[in-house]
Structure 1
Amino acid sequence: MSSKCPNDGVTTDSSSHTKAGWTLGAGVEYAFTQNWTTRVEYRYSDFGKFTDNPATDGTFLYPTDVTTQAVRVGFSYKF
Structure 2
Amino acid sequence: MRRASTPRSRRWAWRRSRPPKVREWLVTNGVLPADLVTRNRQVAEAALRPWSPAFTHGDLQIAHVFVDGDKITGIIDWSEVMPCSTSPP
Give the structure-2-normalised TM-score: 0.22
> In proportion to residue count, which structure has more helix?
2
Richer in strand (by share): 1
TM-score (norm 1): 0.23
